Amino acid sequence: MPSQTRSFRSAAALALLLPLAAPASAEDDPAARYRETAGRILGRALVDEGAWAKLEHLTTRIGHRLSGSPGLEKAVAWAHEGMKAEGLEGVRLQGVRVPRWVRGREWARVVSPVQRELPMLGLGMSIGTPKEGVTAPVVVVRSFEELTALGREKVEGKIVAFAPDWEGYGRTVRFRSSGASVAAGLGAVAVLVRSATGRSLATPHTGALDYDAGVPRIPAAAIAVEDAEWLRRMAAAGETVTASLFMEARLEGDADSANVIAEIRGSERPDEIVVMGGHYDSWDVGQGAHDDGCSCMAAWQALTILKELGLRPRRTLRVVLWTSEENSLNGGKAYRAALGTDVASHVAAIEMDGGCERPVGFGFSVTKPGTAPPSRRGGGPAEPEDPDAARALATLREIGSLFDAIDAASVKWGGGGADISPLTRDGVPGMLFDMVGEYYFDWHHTHADTIDKVSPKDLRRATAMLAVMGYVLADMPGRLMP
């Protein structure tokens, strides 16, 4: 028997054993109440091929999906028609205006003291260079403080290369986001930024930058970790490196796009909603497989499986494939704006946007409107201080125990996501699908973000967990939060 077939059957058998371990009281314990139903969902989802077939079509037949591009709109139309063909309810497109940024041709090279190509990817939303490009000496720094200490005299007219140490994505990405404006404030003519990754095979990573108002806009590009390290060593040796940069990047105004929405209408409280999904757009390199096609296909297939099993929760369970997360968040903003004052109709919002590695559970947070959400990176409290939030976290941990059989029962305090942030800022409880995160940033925003990096087993597990968590939150008698 092939090993893949054995794993399918083992997973299904394991899921079907879940009802045998039910606690005594199903009234007070959501895990006990839903253990049998969760077993049915897991038993089906852990052998289901639907999410993989969808991801294969999306990545192979359509490919990357930058907002404002034909690729994204082809993907939007395909998902819209596919959801209708499957008989999902409330299938519709929610119109969104998105930025159309075009990369164009681009290159970089070292011209002295040696001559060689410099692999690069222009940063999203960057301006282009003049037609003749930019050629200038390179100033290498490890931090904003080091750059500021140099002063305008040593920076003006130069290309600044940010070559910081890797301190994790959350800290290292600030050079990509803000480096161009900080350098431009001191007179730099362009910036090269170390890719935001801890491991590299000479692969540049793109991503969006933010230009500060009142500061000149200068072109910005990512370079591979290996080349950032080389520039550091050359600077330490007292060598002055001169480089040329050419970019045709430009912003061509706004374009029409859409969030893709489907749902299973609630049987008793259809106006109360649990929403889950991921962002449908990607950068214009690779296939957008991990970021974030796998999440969108898992959420879509989770809804399809529930429909096929005949499971209709008390509340409406909705899936949204949000558009334009990478360079504007306009999809999430448009979804929230359409709710108006009815945002309290949302019982919970679940986002998956960290690739599709081995799942470990969920992160959870809830905030009062106008306050900062708890962070799992910033040293916030390990547990909620609000009693209602603490009770909700305890409930989610009971639900999480339904995933003991697949070793993914963790529910931690601190979670959310970019697309659901407009909802969570207004008090909607937010959840982040949590994975081990061992390799995600190796191919994040690169040409290497392709379907061969996705494990079908992990995709099935993600689909199963979204289906169970979404269904239980939508069906349990009381709301997660009062």
CA distance 208 to 211: 10
Joined tokens for residue 342: 């009815």
Which of 325, 326, 351, 398 is flagged as catalytic? 325
3-state secondary structure 263-304: EECCCCEEEEEEEEEEECCCCCCCCCHHHHHHHHHHHHHHHH
Joined tokens for residue 190: 């362009």
Task: Look at strands 315-322 and 250-264 and give their pairing.
Answer: antiparallel
CA distance 39 to 41: 5
Burial string for 344-359 (b: 16+ CB within 10 Å, else e) reads: ebbbbbbbbbbbbbbb
Burial string for 395-427 (b: 16+ CB within 10 Å, else e) reads: bbbbbbbbbebbebbebbbbbbbbbbbbbbbbb
Burial string for 109-132 (b: 16+ CB within 10 Å, else e) reads: bbeeeeeeebbbbbbbbbbbbeee
- Catalytic, 325? Answer yes
Half-sphere exposure of 188 (CA within 13 A, CB side): 29
Asked if 449 and 288 count as a contact pair (C-beta separation under 8 A), the reply is yes
Q: What is the CA radius of gyration of the chain?
A: 24
CA distance 214 to 235: 31
Catalytic center residues: 325
